[in-house]
Structure 1
Amino acid sequence: MAASPSALRRAGNEEFRRGQYGPAAALYTRALALVQAAGDAAAEERSVLLANRAACHLKEGACRRCVADCTDALDLVPFGIKPLLRRAAAYEALERYQLAYVDYKTVLQVDCSLQVAHDGVNRMTKALLEKDGVNWRQKLPPIPTVPVSAQTRWSVPSAAAPGANAPPATASRGQADQAAADMERARTLKEEGNELVKKGNHKKAVEKYSESLKLNQECATYTNRALCYLTLKQYKEAVQDCSEALRLDSKNVKALYRRAQALKELKDYKSSIDDIKSLLKTEPKNTAALRLLQELNRA
């Protein structure tokens, strides 16, 4: 009796766990051949198999093949976290930093809590700053806007951890819809806060950011509110917000710089210097940080 696609996938997962990436890829390929005829009805299953095979290619250093499989997987099921992360890693290995940055940023729209994506964004920011200078953002391809429907999806199981991302049995559709609505509202409030900052109304912006953070704890919202607190000379609050941002993203440059500024004002020069030194490990040519370090050394 011929093996079923699900049996082949399980066998491929087992080979992957054993570090046998070539045999695992071959099993996923056989499973893909069996489900190909089902067309759209098997789109999600095909996407999982392609993402799993992409993981094998990435492990073996076949980065272009990894990119191809991830792209096909995303065509079938848009905004899947696993294929986005694997394609980003492959782009990074190929030194296609702009495309890797876009994929990492897209992942964070789907799930802003993923540290691996935050770390990827930081690495790509550093690489692009060195490569293209301060105007590197102007050369980026457009970053797609992830629809709310994609944010409510559960990630497909991966080769490395089959079934690891399955939704808990108690999670209801109503809860997922509410979570998506909260995230969308949080994003709107943050944008309103950003507009108020541009107008110089930092006190009102703090209110908007605070409302946003009640719905979704996002690193950028904390650093934005910290900037407002700095302007309002509320330095202890700025330190607290930057610390919260660093809890989410330990190498966040804005959080380190703004906390260093606030600590300087609080006359905690040692801690301020420590933050600047941590920042310079990520961005050794950051002129604002180097200038602040000189000021601190004279204090």
Structure 2
Amino acid sequence: MAPKPPGSVLELRVAGNESFRSGQYAEAAELYGRALDALRETGPANPEEESVLYSNRAACHLKDGNCTHCIKDCSVALSLVPFGIKPLLRRAAAYEALEKYQLAYVDYKTVLQIDCTLPAAHDGVNRMTKALMDTDGLEWRLKLPPIPSVPIAAQKRWEAAPGGDHEKAAKTKLKETDTLNNKVPTVGDIKQARALKEEGNELVKKGKHKEAVEKYSESLTFSSLESATYTNRALCYLSLKKYKEAVKDCTEALKLDSKNIKAFYRRAQAFKELEDYQSSLEDVNSLLSIEPENSAATKLRQEVNRNLKI
């Protein structure tokens, strides 16, 4: 008598893990897919369990070289449980294989915010840095998408993986946290935030800095995860001679991206106007350590040094 095929979510997931361990990746992917179907049929889905199944199936796609499907499944897993280490690492590896180095860099850097001890993430950042310098030159950081700021609650999270002997569910629920409005922004929030940011950018081009500040501020109520919104508003504050506000915005931008050239430069400008020449010099030096050939920063350093000598 033939053994009964697996039918429950748990049975399908265990069978998928067994297939994965034995190198049967296509079979494992199918079993994880059936487990997802079964999970939905049982009623309201458990986001954590559903996220793990998508992440596990993504691992199968990655092993089989199907990077596009891997990225898709990882993105779904991350939409269900943000900042999962394994889907981030798997998506980064898939982006890397497709030579989408900027996106891979962002995912590897995000992982390091969650757990700074992971060699795979450190190695990935080093590889992507080299690849991006080769393709984009010294200004490669300026072309990067924004790197999300990871809430403390998301650090050191573990999730189940294919082939694990003792699968562990994440014990710490991710707090819905965002710098301004205490929630994780939805896709709609992010789209609205970016639309408002673009409106602000258009106002800047017309020299309407006060109105642009209002647009950037409104954008940040929807999502505060883009460093460019802060640096753009800081530019407006500099034009409006609101230097303390400019310093504050640049500091927020640097929390999101610790090597943000514009944030260092604009904060240095603001500190100079506030006659805090030592802080200004420190920011300029930080900038030049990242981008030694930046002529504007070199000129600003000369001006600050002159003031320090007076």
TM norm structure 1:
0.61
User: What do residues 87-111 of structure 1 show as CA deviations (whole Å, max 9, x unaligned)?
Assistant: 435766x7x8x61104456x69xxx
Displacement, 1:283?
2.4
Equivalent residue runs for 1:245-284 within 5 Å: 245-284=253-292
CA gap of 1:53–1:208, structure 2 versus 1, over 3 A, is: same
Q: Distance in 2 between matches of 1:27 and 1:181?
A: 39
User: What do residues 184-241 of structure 1 show as CA deviations (whole Å, max 9, x unaligned)?
Assistant: 3222211111111112111100011111112211322111100111111211110011
Q: Distance in 1 between matches of 2:91 and 2:112?
A: 16
- Does the CA contact (< 8 Å) of 2:16 and 2:32 recur in 1? no
CA gap of 1:226–1:30, structure 2 versus 1, over 3 A, is: same
Q: Which one of the candidate residues 85, 88, 104 is aligned to 2:92? A: 88
Q: Distance in 2 between matches of 1:90 and 1:232?
A: 45
Does residue 215 (structure 1) correspond to residue 222 (structure 2)? The answer is: yes
- Does the CA contact (< 8 Å) of 1:126 and 1:283 recur in 2? no
CA gap of 1:35–1:215, structure 2 versus 1, over 3 A, is: closer
Partner of 1:71: 68
User: What do residues 50-106 of structure 1 show as CA deviations (whole Å, max 9, x unaligned)?
Assistant: 43468xxxxxxxxxx6692543323556565555643435766x7x8x61104456x
Q: Secondary structure at the match of 2:170?
A: coil
Does residue 191 (structure 1) correspond to residue 198 (structure 2)? The answer is: yes
Partner of 1:61: none
- Does the CA contact (< 8 Å) of 1:8 and 1:28 recur in 2? no
- Does the CA contact (< 8 Å) of 1:193 and 1:204 recur in 2? yes
- Does the CA contact (< 8 Å) of 1:226 and 1:241 recur in 2? yes
Displacement, 1:28?
7.1
Displacement, 1:257?
1.4
The amino acid of 2:90's aligned partner reads R
The amino acid of 2:261's aligned partner reads V
- Does the CA contact (< 8 Å) of 1:87 and 1:103 recur in 2? yes
The amino acid of 1:264's aligned partner reads K
The amino acid of 1:88's aligned partner reads A
Identify, as 1 or 2, the structure richer in helix. Answer: 1
Partner of 1:164: 170
Q: Distance in 2 between matches of 1:237 and 1:187?
A: 21
The amino acid of 1:272's aligned partner reads S
User: What do residues 124-147 of structure 1 show as CA deviations (whole Å, max 9, x unaligned)?
Assistant: 68864564447879x99xx9xxxx
Aligned-pair RMSD on alpha carbons?
4.8
Q: Distance in 2 between matches of 1:101 and 1:68?
A: 20
Partner of 2:236: 228
Does residue 244 (structure 1) correspond to residue 252 (structure 2)? The answer is: yes
Q: Distance in 1 between matches of 2:284 and 2:295?
A: 11
The amino acid of 1:293's aligned partner reads R
Uncovered stretches (5+) of structure 1, i.e. residues with no partner = 13-24, 55-64, 144-155, 171-175
The amino acid of 1:288's aligned partner reads A
Q: Secondary structure at the match of 2:100?
A: helix
Query: Kindly, what percent of the aligned residue pairs are identical?
Result: 49
CA gap of 1:206–1:89, structure 2 versus 1, over 3 A, is: same
TM norm structure 2:
0.60
- Does the CA contact (< 8 Å) of 1:101 and 1:121 recur in 2? no
- Does the CA contact (< 8 Å) of 2:55 and 2:73 recur in 1? no
- Does the CA contact (< 8 Å) of 1:47 and 1:74 recur in 2? no
